Structure 1
């Protein structure tokens, strides 16, 4: 299926795998890109050396293009962009809107840019700055999310910008792909669906919790990092919701210390990152501390396999997924379903 997205990214199918911390590494990304989709590395939980090694390992497994997700507010965001330039990675995606300088630096060096947006005005702003595509995530999506569902947000953005739009939030099959294309999107992006594949590095104990979750099994909470975050509804999350501010702050401080050790950041760099995270957002320092601790909460579940002590970002589609196919089988199935859906629609003429 050829769309403006496949032409832009050089992939065979208009299906993007989103960057998920501790999940979207060399194995998953190479499996998605090798199957004709477009994989994106989650670099926020990696050091610069780890990111370089991940890029090399992907290249050893597939010659297909892929991207890297970067936190625009990271202290070393420019160094990461320089790494992408030197390694000639196809795309830099951003969870937060990059500034004009980062966009220009990528454009001047042949790197495509695709920020994630949750509102029409944000899409208009970054499109005016010269990004190559935008990823639009509706409220159904996992991780940081907004209140507007994809079915209402997507047509707003499609009508507002002239670059390819990728639809995210609520997608898991070929019917969804066709629906997104009908709205005017150039493709879809999926996180939870790719997390629940045999190529995902997440342990079976954690995957089973996702598979067992009903459609109502997620919750949007601000107690994880101070901003709305859709996660699996667990006893740990319910405890966070009920815990007092002092207890939550102490827990966050411990996690922030642990993340500093893992990331190799100095305390001045951690403080700088916290200040940048607060910029433009009404976050208290307590909320900022929780934001700094989030990678540890993700790691406990996604890497250490301790769901009772961690956070599991999850889209509402978790309640509709009941299997763990390979990425190749999943993408082939989605494209077959999309073809069948298009044939069915065509009978209505």
Structure 2
């Protein structure tokens, strides 16, 4: 290894401050039944030091944590991947309570709230709890293939927010990072569990993309996550109209969060958040948030415009918005739903990709009729 490469590798060896907590609790977590990746073992020796032919940046044990509160782990009882999330109850006093309530509603088609699997309580800090959550993928990883796949995402998000509002819970922080997908089954040969490298092939010494199938072949379920600033209100509070002091979340664009109001209707703001997510991620190219948008989602524009009106009282309720969406969905043709989702960055005449897309659709039909294994991309 050259001196330059050795110096670069040394940077990957040093744990940053947000990682040291997890290293220091490695053995305790293991005793609780959850094992962290090799990087966080107290006696960790970097794999590229053991095998000098490896390049440090390609080794999974070189990948650092960015978010101090969230880390992936292996559940020792069954070998499944899970996520551990630190919650400081002095800062987020309702997250555990709301997570337990939503989990207690049980699994159902309508429940799109990420369930709580376990709760760990470090002895040294009574304010701290560690939530054990199922391992999820980002909602858009892998990329969407058809309009039908995206429409199903919308449907599930409307459905999930309806359930929360039905139980008088306002999420208050709906944005792209808090929308997750139970999509591990799309990757039959596995993928790297590190949350930032989910697209990488498992066990690869290089940054090779993991093979996957599509949501059309293998339907997925989407989940709303992160109840750190969520609130549950009483039925009587809802009847009288809830007004609560706003808390700034990941989406900082609601008009009512721009200094006009000190008290807001959090349920109306949830409707804005969902509408703004659809608008900025799928309809419009938004330079402020660095999204490129897609072509062909004009059928959502009128509904999204109403959901994101400046005056919160003029927005539809989530039940009204969901009913309008259901009507929109019924009006979409089978051809539209099976058509390829096209980024606004892509030139309008990419005939080659369109041909490839419909070739896959025909091939999928043949595979289904012949009961052959699901093809991978």
TM-score with structure 1 length normalisation? 0.22
**Greater relative contact order (Cα 8 A, min sep 6): structure 1 or 2?**
1
Higher share of residues assigned helix: 1
Larger radius of gyration: 2
